[in-house]
Structure 1
Amino acid sequence: MSAAVTPDLVDYDEVVAAFDPMLGLEVHVELNTNTKMFCGCPTEFGAEPNTQVCPTCLGLPGSLPVVNEQAVRSAILIGLALNCEIVPRCRFARKNYFYPDMPKNFQTSQYDEPIAVNGWLDVELDDGSVVRVEIERAHMEEDTGKSMHVGGATGRIHGAEYSLLDYNRAGVPLIEIVTKLIPGTRERAPEVARAYVSTLRDLLRALNVSDVRMDQGSMRCDVNLSLSPRDSGVLGTRSETKNVNSLRSVERAVRFEMTRQAGVLLAGGKVVQETRHFDESGGTTRPGRRKESSEDYRYFPEPDLVPVQPSRDWVDEIRATLPEMPAQRRKRVQAEWSLSDEELRDLVNAGALDLVAATVAAGAPSGEARSWWVSYLSQQANNTGVALDELPITPEQLARVIALVTGGELSNNLARQVVDGVLAGEGSPDEVVAGRGLKVVSDDSALIAAVDEALAAQPDIAEKIRGGKVAAAGAVVGAVMKATRGQADAKRVRELVLERCT
């Protein structure tokens, strides 16, 4: 079967009945250092193209690299958090290949001597079961520049009229984390892949070594997948789906490749070892280039850099700075906030755990903080198409809103209006309250006047209340709330309605 022929996809249940998926993941993480891996250029995201470059990251003759100490420190911290062995000596190598966004025509990376090896990460799945993913290595390297293909329909080079190159990203420090094959995943392979990348992202965020923004490319996943005949243990030919940039896409890429490769194999064809690109719109992959072997890259030790030899004392010093790991933190928080397993999973899946914790630290009760972030604010994030932590409201601001409700100065309805005002950029909660005139009306004289007016406007309802039909008071309360633009204390209004009808 020609590699150009698109095979029929196989039903997923049929795939897992006939094959075992062999899954491996490579995650590239841009470090949040102030300068690049081998020069002093800044690393700020979003700068004007080609304004953060110098002779070293452009690979100009005569320029020499210098290793970024903070990047090495971050690499060691990541290795320790992944339960890796930090080697006493490692070195950089040149990975030689031509690509337009690599101005030197080689990438300074680590090949046979990475800084961290033989680790593991426990990954919890949605049902609470745990899969241990073994880490083969974590190594340091530099990122490439960025190609922008102009004039085509897809943004890819095929069909484009011309390409532009931005070298701002060239030389940004990267850590590549490579798993060993993850055995026994079977029908749960897509779920395991997603959960691993999610768990790793949480870990890296806790370490504060990267912003792990998959949408901006600071964390990217390469999905390696092959199929073996069920229970044979024979490795199949793998594909590598490059630069997958969301958790959902990682899961979809694994699932699609399983169904695609099964289609090839069951039709009597052979899977081609190649890189592939993930299409976000269709959830499919398409061919890239034939996959090279390590020999094709002609690795050799980087002659301009001496080996890196972290001392045991330095490694121990870095180990002492390890923060509480996300899994341990979740267990602690669950106990402190009296959460069920389901409530904790909802909190984690919503991406709200850190936000709730920060809101609690700012003085809010955990129940109220959790309710706001997981319900109302999650809705606002979905409606505007942004991540929850990208909403323009801080945990401290939300804690202030909750305090105003607790103190009786805002009703729940008014509190939502205040939050809306903060999200709209109208200022702090107190500024929104003042600007919109949203404080609860608690003065009895004003409330009595509003109640009497509502009763006078609805004499039949007033008569029912006097006749003992207390439930009818709700209509009067509603009228008062409307008249006061929701600023009345509904509980106090109801009390006054019943008092005035006795």
Structure 2
Amino acid sequence: MTAKLIHGYEVVIGFETHTQLATQSKIFSRAATAFGAEPNTQACAVDMALPGTLPVMNRKAVECAIKLGLALGSHIAPRSIFARKNYFYPDLPKGYQISQFEIPVVQGGEVSFFLGEEKKTVRLVRAHLEEDAGKSLHEDFIGQSGIDLNRAGTPLLEIVTEPDMRSSEEAVAYARELHKIVTWIGICDGNMQEGSFRCDANVSVRKPGGPLGTRREIKNLNSFKNMQQAIDYEIRWQIEELEDGRQIQQATVLFNPDTGETRAMRTKEDAADYRYFPDPDLPPLVVAESWVEQVRGAMPELPRQRAARFVADYGLPEYDATTLTQSQDMASYFEAVAQACNQPKLASNWIMGEISRRLNTEEIGIDQAKVGSAQLAQLIGRISDGTISNNAARQVFEALWAGEAGDDLTSVDALIEAKGLKQMNDSGALEAIIDEVIAANPGNVEQYRAGKDKAFNALVGQVMKASKGKANPGQVNELLKLKLAP
């Protein structure tokens, strides 16, 4: 598919995502990683590289890297090495960061997702293990800054893509999919506000077919909303600069959500600026094939595998199956409904429609849905057996969501009775109504017999009105056509 152009320019986006690993201790020490502790209470001598201390690799962090590699179809290097990334900043106590450079533990792989109903795939370059830095705290009201080293040494996986994305919408869809995967397999809690899932977007623009433009890196995007706003602003800014005859300078920029603008923080460093060299205190990381297979055996069913099973077992379209596997809870909710009502496509439609709209409006997860899977299954069952119409079902759903029936599994039938929503399925009673409508609307009858379909719809509407909306529409259509046949 041809990339969308903006004012004659093609957008090129790559991502670097720092995923904080769900370990209880740091990557090279036994210090805790809990969020929210008092400043500098979780930084030990190893984290600060005090004389005489040596780093020791956290086995759990390596296991997380293996899980990610398996989930993304990557190559897991049997032997990888750690390097020192040298730079000087107040919150980096060692004066260098232990990371991986030439030989990362996870190599290649891809992330596939849907943008609307179009399937996209972003290729991955690598995912490497590294330690986090500390955090600078700026107290503007007293004109001072402080350093909190609690985060120093926290284990990260930095996941790097090829520059495969061509719009902010595509970039956000990729980030959402990656977020889903790392939380699904349990290697990260995905809390963007606490910094557990931090995205850096490398953005550039170019004329179609031309060489890649100079990129600017937007750092530490901590929400999907900010991510899209920041990328859109950066795209507009770069195009305006080029159109005005100026050149783009490679830089690291920050996004200000209050102004909706990006601003340059510093010129962007290249790998040579960091003077990488192998860390002499850490031996090569060796991952045996038997370890990989052990981790593989304990992996949950992955989102793409569960989606494929939904297509095979329930006959769902691929788009539906992918949407329903946005989280483990959503997938389990759908499966419970589908199995209980034996109407998987109807279950999918209701969950992707009414349920999702409610969840988005109230900003809650499926685990907080106010209509349980058993209740939704029963409601769908009453649509399928003709007890109620779709419109009546929405009224029952509204009542269930509002808590009118509690958790009582007889509540669907009780609400249908209480609200008088049961469809009229008595063919004798329907025929009497239809006869009256035909007799009262000779003009519409004549027009229908002359080939005007709109006249038939008008007659159906009159029957539904006469039955106070309780007639079964399918049955009305069938009986009316029989009555009007020449």
TM over 0.5: yes
The equivalences for 1:105-254 within 5 A come to: 105-131=95-121, 133-151=122-140, 161-182=143-164, 188-232=166-210, 234-254=211-231
Q: Is the 8 A contact 1:95 1:297 kept in 2?
A: yes
Contact 1:223 1:253 (C-alpha < 8 Å) held by counterparts:
no
| 1:354 aligned onto 2:329 | yes
Aligned-residue CA RMSD in angstroms? Answer: 4.0
Is the aligned partner of 1:271 residue 2:248?
yes
Corresponding pairs, count: 414
In the other structure, the counterpart of 1:454 is: none
Q: Aligned partners of 1:141 and 1:325: how far apart in 2? A: 25
AA partner of residue 302 (structure 1): D
Query: Retained in 1: the 8 A contact 2:359–2:369?
Result: no
The answer to whether the aligner puts 1:93 opposite 2:67 as a matched pair is: no
Q: 1:399, 1:122 → 2: CA distance?
A: 29
C-alpha change, 1:418 and 1:290, in structure 2 (3 Å) is same
Alignment check: 8 A CA contact 2:316 2:345 kept: no
Distance in structure 2 (CA, Å) of the matches to 1:51 and 1:285: 34
SS of structure 1 residue aligned to 2:292: helix
Identity among equivalent positions (%) equals 36
Q: 1:118-158: CA deviations, max 9, x gaps? A: 33333432232333x22211100012223332336xxxxxx
Paired residues for 1:410-449 under 5 Å: none
d(CA) in 2 for partners of 1:352 and 1:121? Answer: 16
Segment drifting more, 399-408 vs 219-228: 399-408
TM-score between both structures, scaled by the size of structure 2: 0.71
- Give the Cα separation in 1 of the matches to 2:112 and 2:464: 58
Distance 2:212 2:403 in 1: 58
Give the drift of 1:251.
3.3
Deviation string 1:429-459 (CA, Å, 9 cap, x unpaired) is: 66xx7xxxx99979x9xx9xxx9xxxxxxxx
C-alpha change, 1:39 and 1:79, in structure 2 (3 Å) is same
Question: Is 2:333–2:373's contact at 8 Å kept on the other side of the alignment?
Answer: no
Is contact 2:304-2:322 (8 Å) kept? no
Alpha-carbon contact 2:334-2:351 (below 8 Å) kept: no
Q: Cα–Cα, structure 1 residues 37 and 80, in superposed 2: closer, same or farther, change >3 Å?
A: same
| Structure 2 CA distance for aligned equivalents of residues 381 and 406 of structure 1 | 19
Report the equivalent of 2:18: 28
Q: What pairs with 1:388-407 in structure 2 (closer than 5 Å)?
A: 388-389=365-366, 392=368, 398-399=372-373
**Distance of 2:378 and 2:12 partners within structure 1:** 55
What letter is aligned with 1:271?
Answer: I
Compared with structure 1, are the counterparts of its residues 356 and 181 closer, same or farther at alpha carbon in structure 2 (3 Å cutoff)? closer
Letter in 2 for 1:198: R
* Structure 1 unpaired stretches of 5+: 1-11, 153-159, 423-427, 452-468, 478-502
Quote the Cα distance in structure 2 between the aligned partners of 1:229 and 1:407: 55
Report the secondary structure of 1:215's partner residue: coil
Deviation at 1:238, TM superposition (A): 1.2
Cα distance in structure 2, aligned partners of 1:139 and 1:441: 57
SS at match of 2:262: strand
Is the alpha carbon distance of 1:241 and 1:412 closer, same or farther for their aligned partners in structure 2, counting shifts above 3 Å? closer
Q: What residue identity is the alignment partner of 1:292? A: E
Instruction: Give the superposition deviation at 1:95.
Output: 1.4
8 Å contact kept, 1:352–1:388 = no
Residue 443 of structure 2 corresponds to which residue in structure 1?
A: none
Partner letter of residue 132 of structure 2? Answer: D
Number of the residue aligned with 1:328: 305
Structure 2: where are the runs of 5+ without partners? 383-392, 421-462, 471-486
* In structure 2, distance between residues paired with 1:226 and 1:415: 47
Structure 1 counterpart of 2:261: 284
Q: Which amino acid aligns with 1:111?
A: F
Residues 49, 167 of structure 1: 8 Å contact kept: yes
Q: Structure 1: how far apart are the matches of 2:39 and 2:352?
A: 38
Structure-to-structure mapping, 1:48-67, within 5 angstroms: 48-67=38-57
Paired position in structure 1 for 2:36: 46
* Alignment partners' CA distance in 1, 2:236 and 2:181: 31
Q: 1:398 to 1:167 in 2, by over 3 A?
A: farther
Displacement of 1:289 after TM fit?
0.9
**Deviations 1:66-87, CA, capped at 9 Å, x for gaps:** 1100111111221233222222
C-alpha distance in 2, partners of 1:76/1:141?
A: 14
- Note closer, same or farther for the CA distance 1:421–1:121 as it changes in structure 2 (3 Å cut): same
Contact 2:184–2:327 (8 Å) recurs in 1: no
Are 1:68 and 2:80 an aligned pair?
A: no
TM-score between the two structures when normalised by the length of structure 1: 0.69
| Distance (Å, rounded) in 1 between the aligned partners of 2:336 and 2:274 | 51
Residue identity in the other structure for 2:134? G
Report the residue type matching 2:250 in the other structure.
Answer: Q
Shift of 1:31: 0.9
Q: Secondary structure at the match of 1:198?
A: helix
Matching residue of 1:486:
none
Identify which range, 254-263 or 270-279, moves more after superposition.
254-263
